[in-house]
Amino acid sequence: MAPFQDDLVVLIHSMAKISHKGPFTLRKRRATRHTPALKLPFICLLFLFYCLIHYGNPLYAGEVHYLEGNGLQVLFDASQEGVARELVRFYPEVREELRRIFGWDLTRSPSVRLIRDSGQFQQMVDSPLTVAFALPQEDLVVMDIAGMKAHPFGLRNTFKHELCHLLLHQNIPSDLIPRWLDEGIAQWVSDGAGDILLDRKRSMLSRVALRGYLIPLKSLSRGFPQDDRDLTLAYEESKDFIDHLIGLSGPAGLLRLLGYMKQGTDVEESLVRVYGSSLSALEREWQQSLRNRLTWLTYLSYHLYEILFLLAALMSIYGSIRIMIKKRRRMKEELEIEES
């Protein structure tokens, strides 16, 4: 995560915690250097001044609205009020769905910052594929609303994905949660939705599995690659490995794994306790099952449209050649008639 993002989200979170009145409020705030000092901690004013000088187009330049309700706080621009109200409306439902799955509840109220400008959002992340991210240490979710319009899973599932990150880190020490487990579980509970845009019709996992090129899970423990291709593969691997674990002992086994980790047991020992195998052994088993599932016929099916397009192009070329041959033959016959 870039230093600018780290500092910026602290500012976001601080502003989201500004005092308010009533169970459901909507306010407008003008975040400029003229914001009254009593409204913000002094350190936030200093950082805001830093952003104004160094970035020219700060996150809070202009009018910012604040909405709170149902235990959720949302910061947004004027044009995003509908999205903010939608998040507040279905937050209790999503929270209850997560509680039923894990048996855990969100013990701290989360905050959401909606970003209208995708270009501005991209300055905060490492990949242009990213449409949202969570900062568990700040109980904060940041979402690129413009990028979300092209997201195949919709606002609700992506929001659920990010809340899952917050829930996991509220109940398990962050240093015990490997990134592949964090992302894999969040995708599982949100029906495949993730922090980044994934084209399920062009699965990267299916392309590389038969060639034997997979990123080792241990290298995905502390972070994911920045390269878009490998980043996509990392997300797909994480989701597929979690699906493999669920296939071994159902969701109950996965929840037992998380239960051990909540008690302070690391992921390696927790896997042995639940599945009777080490991470490396489970990974080898998963890779073999993946190759068994992704036969060459399956691989070709992922490229069906490209194959059909190529065949159509070849048929078109073949037809053109036949027409040319017929024309030349006809011209030759006409010349022979004229000569005779």
Q: Say what the pTM is.
A: 0.72
pLDDT tens digit string along 61-98? Answer: 457 899 999 999 999 998 899 999 999 999 999 999 99
With a cut of 60, say whether residue 160 has pLDDT above it: yes
Close Cβ partners of 216 (under 8 Å, ≥ 6 residues apart): 283
- Positive/negative CA dihedral, 163, 167, 170, 174: negative
Angle at 40 between CA 35 and CA 46, to 5 degrees: 80
More confident residue, 321 or 238: 238
* Backbone torsions φ then ψ of 116, nearest 5 degrees: -80, -35
| Owner of token pair 């910052």 | 113
Helices (H), 150-295: 154-171, 179-189, 204-209, 228-262, 267-275, 279-293
Tell me which of 10-19, 27-36, 107-116, 250-259 is least confident. Answer: 27-36
β-pair type (25-30, 72-76): unpaired
β-pair type (72-76, 111-115): parallel
pLDDT at 302: 56
Tell me which of 22-26, 211-215, 245-249 is least confident. Answer: 22-26
Angle at 95 between CA 92 and CA 97, to 5 degrees: 110
